[in-house]
Amino acid sequence: MLAPSSLLPLELHEVVLAVGKRRIIDGISMLLETGPRTVIIGPNGAGKSVLLRLCHGLLRPTSGTIRWTSLEPSDGPRRQAMVFQRPVLLRRTALANVAYALAIGGVPRAQRTSRALDALRKVGLEHVADRAARVLSGGEQQRLALARAWALSPEVLFLDEPTASLDPGATHEIEKGIAAIHASGTKIVLVTHNLGQARRLGDEILFLHQGRIAERAPVEQFFRQPASNEAAQFLEGELPW
């Protein structure tokens, strides 16, 4: 069987998202390619989460185009996934939550349980497989959300501040998971407010400011010597978060 042609690169051309007169995303053109982990940072209200949702197809741009290299079938399983800041889990067991995503993803019934268990094992949650998802701790819930996305083996994984409300231990677990998902060949696009996390997980930084890309640079270079004024100010803590 032929492998499906890659979704990537993802091309954005002059993308604008306006709500009333306010342009939340104000003319972004960029190319997201296979490989490097892209970390999007920027002050509050810069449009980071909105940009992620546009890329993932949860929002439609007011103008401009967002084009994947190969199209996802409109009624078939998706080849991209997203992990949100607050995990949204169904009132079922942890295992059933992952299996549910696999069912939508078109995985045959006979394979779902073993694949779901496998994903839970990867995030260290196999011991709570039969527990109700919503009574797990915050960190476990987010790991479960990560496992759910991982089980789908997406080509691209979007993450919107996945550790924003977690303690350091849980954050570490999530970061380990993200690194492993990247190692398995998935493109990572991560929005974060945590600059340490951006350094640890990023290959390249996309710095957003007022709905535009103010700077895009490899992570080392960005933190050593940001080229844009806005980024320099942001790193010095002069721009509001």
Point out which residues bind other proteins (CB under 8 A): 53, 56-58, 75-78, 81-82, 84, 88, 90-92, 100-101, 104-105, 132-135
Cβ-based nearer residue to other proteins, 91 or 127 = 91
Q: Which is nearer to other proteins, 133 or 217 (CB)?
A: 133
**Which residue number, 29 or 137, has a Cβ lying nearer to other proteins?**
137
Pairing type for strands 187-191 and 204-209 reads: unpaired
The CB density around residue 115, as the number of other CB atoms within 10 Å, is 18
Give the 3-state secondary structure of residue 17: strand
Q: How far is the CB of 54 from other proteins (least distance, A)?
A: 13
- Apex CA 36: angle with CA 120 and CA 26, to 5°? 105
* Shortest distance in whole angstroms from residue 58 CB to other proteins: 6
Q: Give min distance, CB of 76 to other proteins, in A.
A: 8
Q: What is the DSSP letter of 128?
A: G
Compute the least distance from the CB of residue 29 to other proteins, in Å.
Answer: 24
Is the Cβ of residue 131 or residue 193 nearer to other proteins in the bound state? 131
Neighbour tally for 3: CB within 10 Å: 5
| Nearest alpha-carbon partner for 222 in 38, 33, 34 | 38
